[in-house]
Amino acid sequence: MRIVDLLSPKAMQLGAHPADKAAAIDALVDLHEAAGNLVDKEKYKQAILAREELGTTAVGEGIAIPHAKTDATKHAALAAMTAPDGVDYGAPDGQPSTLLFMIAAPDDGGEVHLEVLSRLMTILMDIDFRKSLMEAATPEEFLKLIDAKENERFADEVKQDAVADMEGNVEGTEYLIDEAKAEHREHKVEKEEAQAQAEGYRILAVTACPTGIAHTYMAAEALVNAADARGIALKAETNGSGGTKNKLTNAEIEAADGIIVAADKEVSMDRFDGKPVVIVKVADGINKPDELIDRVLDGNAKIYHSASSKRVEDETGSDESVGRKIYKHLMEGVSHMLPFVVSGGLFIAVAFLIDSIAGVPQDSSFGTGTPVSAWFKTIGGFAFSFMVPILAAYIAKSIADRPGLVVGFVGGFMATLGSTFGLPGGDVPSGFLGGLLAGFAGGYMMLGIEKLCDKMPDSLAGIKQILIYPLAGLAAISLFMCLVGPIMGAINTAMSDALTWLADNDYGIILGIILGAMMAIDMGGPFNKAAYVFGTGMLSLGTDAAYEIMASVMIGGMVPPLAIALSTTLFKNRWTEEERKNGPVNYIMGLSFITEGAIPYAASDPLRVIPACIIGSGVAGGLSWLFGCTLMAPHGGIFVVPVIGNALMYLVALAIGAVVGMLMLAILKKKQ
């Protein structure tokens, strides 16, 4: 599906000057309406806004691509706008967006919006091309530039489309079809020969980010462009939300000099066994493509040995530290667990809210005092019951691939039951901590089992996945959890009792300060994630202390963007013009519990901004605990205030923390 086929002159506005993000969205929606792309304009706009609430669709580098998949559209279509002065769209790099495309995709159109998004990101990574689009004087010139870029970037695809058109539409002219096919084959041969002659080097890359949308394709394009500029043939595979594209073949891997894996989630690695591999964050693929290519060419890439190979595991070469590997495995489990926690927590919170309105006494029956509240609490409990097994299952899967899934799931379920040798359940469930242990232990057990099975005859290889791995893994994790479950259960109970004691004796404020401050240390990094995972994990205890922990965690994450937004509003002389211009968007990000909105400001002056935010977040976290605020929903920011315990004082604590952070910024930051 070509971009020029989705974009009409009626759906384009060049040289626009939208006042803000909302105005830009309104203008783009109006363009879709003018081009006849919509069935219901207002419904389509609401779908766009709903997507923006999940996180900005600005990807940086001056690009924003809002999109929505809804039955309010007639067909797949694009609207485009150039804004020379830029519009603050909340981009992660803090820069204004000057080039905006809005995707309209029908509900029954499969994943067409992801295909269009991928295609757009691929061509827009070319800086010169973006500049030429910004300079286009007419819609026709704009379309002509895109058409030429698509023909250049997707030459093979264009040839294939031409052949398909001939086969479907030209009857009785077989010689024309044969000629087109021959030309296409000749083009492919010429391209392959050119690649083979490109300095003798051949590099492969794999890119992936957790959401699988923007950064996946940005990294791939940055690596391809950097290699092309140096006359080096490089192929990049993208592991996006729409599936794997441009997949590397076994022959290509065998012939390659090395592989670059720029990913923030697990990708298929066994295929690279014995090859030089550079493993980095996806951001390095975007920002350091030449450096990564040099590491392959200079022979500084380590030989990768897969865990399932017959080599000794200690010889495994990787650019990743043990800590980063563990972090990635944990995040894989947490990312799959969170939907269960968020939805279940909100349902339980709604149940308590209903009973509060109905005047139900806050005793053991609170939350089930009415038929409606009982329904919400029961469904929320169902979702919560999957939290620990899902966490353990996907940690184990991240370590040992599919064989680890059943082992982790069963181990996590045993942790929730507290199973011992007197199955099915024990008196002391080990909960979240037991699930963590089950996930990591189960994953590494499966790696050991796989290594032992490597010695089996090749004739038995077919039954490994469906019989030997599940049976051996299930036996191993069952014995392990029955053995260590009571120990982890005792630790879990002790921790719960300790939290209750802290809350009852007014010492919990110290924990609230620590957790709030941790959320501001690295704003989305390991400290932030550690505090957040701890908070969400404690929700499974179902105690007031656990809910107070979650409240302190969320408020600590809301303060940094709010403190910066206040500072850019009231202390303008501490910030550059660009920082002041982008400051107001942090009001929205802070209230929405998106701590990452503060990152561009922290990155520009970390020694002053980060300490100020830490102090503000710590104060807010401590006050939240002091005021007895509770939270059962692990996300949502200002939007879940109705289900926060002592909501008014929670807002007071948030305001105080934000003001303290703002004042610390005023003290620490120098005047510009």
d(CA 384, CA 344): 6
Q: How many CB atoms lie within 10 A of CB 409?
A: 24
CB atoms within 10 A of CB 542: 14
DSSP 5-47: HHEEEEEEESS---SSHHHHHHHHHHHHHHTT-BS-HHHHHHH
Which helix or strand (DSSP H or E) is residue 252 part of?
Answer: helix 250-255
Burial of 546-561, coded b for 16+ CB within 10 Å and e otherwise, reads bbbbbbbbbbbbbbbb
Report which of 64, 60, 25, 65 is spatially closest to residue 45, judged by C-alpha positions: 25
Confirm whether 209 is a catalytic residue: yes
Pull the structure tokens for residue 83.
């804004």
637: left (phi over 0), alpha (psi -120 to 50) or beta: left
Q: Which helix (H) or strand (E) holds 69?
A: strand 67-69
Q: Other CB atoms closer than 10 Å to residue 420's CB: what's the count? A: 18
Does the bond joining 424 to the residue before it have cis omega, within 30 degrees of 0?
yes
Considering the candidates 32, 113, 209, 305, report the single residue annotated as catalytic: 209
Task: Please provide residue 282's backbone torsions phi and psi, each rounded to the nearest 5 degrees.
Answer: -65, -30
Q: Is 305 in contact with 311 (CB distance < 8 Å)?
A: yes
**Is 67 one of the annotated active-site residues of the chain?**
yes
Catalytic member of 32, 67, 113, 635: 67
- Which H, E and C letters describe 454-504, residue by residue? CCCCHHHHHHHHHHHHHHHHHHHHHHHHHHHHHHHHHHHHHHHHHHHHHHH
- Which amino acids are annotated catalytic? 67, 209
